[in-house]
Amino acid sequence: MNSTQEGLDYPIWLPRDLSAIHVTVEQPEGNPVISIGEDGAVHALRKGKATITGEFGGMTDQVIVLVE
């Protein structure tokens, strides 16, 4: 399995302390594509697509992860 993040040469790492950021992951329920480790690393679990959304201080941003 090959994990790619469009336009990025390196893996995605979220901040180590996510307590101030509301993070949600959109992916198939019961059959996840990714997991987010306690260290903030995004881990590929199977082929597919997931969307990570982070909300902080009224601002929202998204990262789309494609696992091939």
pLDDT digits (tens, 9 = 90+) for 6-53: 566 666 666 666 677 888 999 999 999 999 887 778 899 999 999 999
Decide if pLDDT at 2 tops 50. Answer: no
Per-residue confidence (pLDDT) for residue 52, from 0 to 100: 94
Q: Is residue 38 part of a domain?
A: yes
Per-residue confidence (pLDDT) for residue 21, from 0 to 100: 81
Residue 16, domain extent: 3-56
Q: Is residue 68 part of a domain?
A: no
Q: Is residue 50 part of a domain?
A: yes
Q: Is residue 63 part of a domain?
A: no
Per-residue confidence (pLDDT) for residue 1, from 0 to 100: 46
Q: Is residue 42 part of a domain?
A: yes
Q: Regarding predicted confidence, which is higher, 50 or 4?
A: 50
Number of domains in the chain: 1
- Tell me the C-alpha distance between 68 and 19, whole Å: 30
Per-residue confidence (pLDDT) for residue 5, from 0 to 100: 55
